[in-house]
Amino acid sequence: MTEPAPPRLAVVIPCYNEAPNVAPMVARLDAALAGIAWEAIFVDDDSPDGTAARAKAIAARDSRVRCIRRIGRRGLASACVEGILSTAAPFVAVIDGDLQHDETILPRMLAALESGAAEIAVGSRNVEGGEMGEGLSPVRRLVSNAGAALANAALPVKVADPMSGFFALPRELFEEMAPRLTATGFKILLDILLSAGRPLQVAEIPYTFRAREAGESKLDATVLLEFAGLLADKALGGIVPLRFMAFALVGGIGVLVHLAVLGLLHGVGPVGFGAAQWAATLVAMTANFLLNNRITYRDRKLRGPRLLRGLVLFYVVCGIGAVANVGIAGLLVRDGVAGWGVAGAAGAALTVVWNYAVSSTLVWRP
Ligand code: GDD
Ligand code: MN
């Protein structure tokens, strides 16, 4: 028996709730990649619509198709990374699973890499021959253009469509930089371009962004926040964990919430200072918990009964943090090590680190 030729191109397809698009995707790849040994890797985050089951049903009869089903995790960028790292093919491409990207340019992308003309081939809507098409609403188009301008300010090479999620590169180049990737949010291409450690030679290949036929976009306000986070992470050279920055930011919002409630209850209202402080603390902690669940730990989001358990645990963690804060600041002042301002700041800083460390390991367990 002869073995089938090993794949030359692995096409990684991040999917969340794309069940109706799976079979058409495979059919389109089959047509577009005739004459090229390819494999398709669907990376699904346990979509409730049964995307993984659809992909596996095809994989069961077509050895070119594989499916990675991830449980308890979410994230477009991390799904792409995991899919790419799972292949041995010399070239890898990433394409959206909703048929919005034009798979017919994949052979040209591969050719650009194989000829050595480029180190990374990008499907581009913003070069001659490319089109935004009907894929983006006017508002999304505006956001996308603003993002592209911002991204180009950070990039060592100019890329007309840095927000593209459609690209191909040699696997070894990716593997080499993989440990440096931020791998959060939607902008995996930008992450790659910023993590290479040197300006990559980019070839942009035009295509028209299609309208989505089935399913819906997963882009929301938090994705935009993640975009800002990615740029911040790269600007800081990855020294401060992105998650910590988000946690600290949420903590800052919590302080504002606390002061607002205190002002409302005690300043404006008739509630005594002590009682108002307790109420403000409780409201601020709850707000912080919900914000962290939505933003900081978005990829490990707690739901249902685990949400309540997490909230209670968060109260306990923050409670201990607060006691430590007050205690340390008190000691510093008593021993004359620091004035009240410095002592207060030191106590608060220590508390943030404590809250973050314990939250990351106990409340939102990896
Ligand atoms: N595994 C996994 N996990 N896949 C995801 C997740 C996730 O958490 N979120 C989204 N996806 C998949 C979707 O199922 C789809 O196949 C692809 O990633 C793109 O998601 P969409 O929700 O369709 O994104 P979009 O159309 O709004 O954004 C597109 O345009 C951007 C530029 O305007 C994408 O192509 C982006 O990559 C691109 O940057
Ligand atoms: Mn889409």
Rounded to 10 deg, the angle between the 221-235 and 188-195 helix axes is: 0
Closest Cα to atom 36 of ligand 1: 165
**How far apart are the C-alpha atoms of 99 and 78, rounded to whole Å?**
20
With the most atoms of ligand 1 within 8 angstroms of its CB, the residue from 73, 74, 76, 299 to mutate is: 76
> Which are the contacts of 130, defined by CB distance < 8 A and separation ≥ 6?
124, 160, 161, 204, 206, 207, 208
**How far apart are the C-alpha atoms of 140 and 326, rounded to whole Å?**
47
Reported ipTM: 0.96
The pocket around ligand 1, CB under 6 angstroms, is made up of: 14-16, 18, 43-45, 74-76, 79, 96-98, 100, 136, 144, 163-165, 186, 217-219
Please give the model's pTM, rounded to 2 decimal places.
0.81
Contact 26, 65 (CB under 8 A): yes
Asked if pLDDT for residue 36 goes beyond 70, the answer is: yes
* Over residues 343-352, mean pLDDT: 85
Contact 360, 296 (CB under 8 A): no
For 152-192, write each residue's pLDDT tens digit. Answer: 888 888 899 999 999 999 999 999 999 999 888 888 999 99
Ligand nearest to the CA of 165: 1
The total number of residues written for the chain in this structure:
366
> Which are the contacts of 227, defined by CB distance < 8 A and separation ≥ 6?
147, 185, 186, 187
pLDDT at site 194: 92
pLDDT at site 1: 62
| pLDDT confidence tier of residue 75, bands split at 50, 70 and 90 | very high
